[in-house]
Amino acid sequence: MNSTDKQILDSAIEWLDGGWHIALATVTRTWGSSPRPPGSWAVLRDDGTIVGSVSGGCVEDDLVRRVREGLLSNDQPLCLSYGVSKDEATRFGLPCGGSLQIVVEPAPDPAGLKLLLQRMDAGLMTARTLDVATGQAMLEDANRNDPLIWDGKRLTTVHGPQNRLLIIGAAQVSGYLASMAQALDYAVSVCDPREEYAAAWQVASVPLISTMPDDAVVAFKPDSGSAIVTLTHDPKLDDLALLEALRSPAFYVGALGSRLNAAKRRERMMQHCGVTEAEMQRLHAPVGLRIGSRTPPEIAVAILAEMIAVKNAAHAGSASLCEPA
């Protein structure tokens, strides 16, 4: 599963190599209840085909119309605003009061796009700065959490490797979690040293690692775009992974189990494994939002919902998934 940015770049480069004229559209600012956040991308070719999304509504239809009518054929980027009034917000399918601003590049540099794609494939975070007056874009090293910058003249967006998820345990819940996480733009790996589980693993697009979980976490090299979830219910496996995960920069660490088991794990890891109070505070256990999940796919949904909330710095309160002991 490619990241969203990579899908758009792949399409843009493929169309350019095929002789098509393309335009890149980037959300730069939003006000009110705008459907897509700043930094969202879309690429259009001159027959109206579009990949990506900037609004999830009729803004895309207006961009397609402009492309087909040749209104985006100049080389210089331009800034478009949508939803500045209630009537226009309704016309373009935006929530009442929502508005957004988009920068459109009618002639992005093919060499620059290919270099950006190469850097993403190499695992490098990249800041792309567009000079609206000249249409030229510059690439520089960046950090994953660097913000989008738009001052009306220069637009800097950050691109890089997709988020990653390491799942410990190859049971049924893991299969649903792996598949759903791919749809949410995660590169997923699964670790399970138990032969009976590894032999039954059925998600062909997700590699299965047979090393011990602590070694798998170390080799995974977690960063701020990483999540680690333990699902074996076996302390001999889960605790090994959690010891490494809780001391890593991973943005999310979760462990499946009941509240009773979570309390026992907390006591065990702090008393016998040297885990600090601050490290234990990072652990989401029982894992997932408390939405009454019972079936494996429902549990996977709850886990991913909490991961999204944490990644987006949302506050999920004290809600969590509580699986019976």
State which residues form the domain around 245: 163-311
Query: Given 109, 132, 159, which residue is the final one in a domain?
Result: 159
Query: Does 321 reside within a domain?
Result: no
Say yes or no to pLDDT of 2 above 70: no
Check residue 1 and give its pLDDT. Answer: 37
Say yes or no to pLDDT of 316 above 80: no
> DSSP labels for 25-81?
EEEEEEESS-SS-TT-EEEEETTS-EEE-SSSSHHHHHHHHHHHTTTT-SSS-EEEE
Check residue 55 and give its pLDDT. Answer: 82
pLDDT digits (tens, 9 = 90+) for 3-29: 677 889 999 999 999 999 999 999 999
How far from 171 is each of 198, 210, 258, CA to CA, in Å? 9, 14, 17
Residues 122 and 182 in one domain: no
pLDDT digits (tens, 9 = 90+) for 48-60: 999 998 886 678 8
Residues 149 and 9 in one domain: yes
Residues 104 and 116 in one domain: yes
Query: Does 36 reside within a domain?
Result: yes
Query: Does 319 reside within a domain?
Result: no
Residues 86 and 184 in one domain: no
Query: Does 317 reside within a domain?
Result: no
Q: Read off the pLDDT of each residue in 30-39 and give the average, rounded to a whole number.
A: 77
Single out the residue of 165, 168, 178 nearest to residue 257, CA to CA: 168
pTM confidence score = 0.72
pLDDT digits (tens, 9 = 90+) for 198-241: 888 988 889 999 999 999 999 999 998 899 999 998 999 999 99
Domains identified in the chain, total number = 2
Check residue 17 and give its pLDDT. Answer: 95
Check residue 273 and give its pLDDT. Answer: 80
Residues 21 and 74 in one domain: yes
Residues 142 and 71 in one domain: yes
Query: Does 265 reside within a domain?
Result: yes
Residues 20 and 45 in one domain: yes
Q: Read off the pLDDT of each residue in 154-176 and give the average, rounded to a whole number.
A: 93
Q: How confident is the prediction for the chain on average, in pLDDT?
A: 87
CATH value at residue 175: 3.40.50.720
Residues 146 and 253 in one domain: no
Residues 144 and 10 in one domain: yes
Of the chain, the percentage scoring pLDDT greater than 70 comes to 89
- Helix 213-220 and helix 235-245, axial crossing angle in degrees, nearest 10: 20
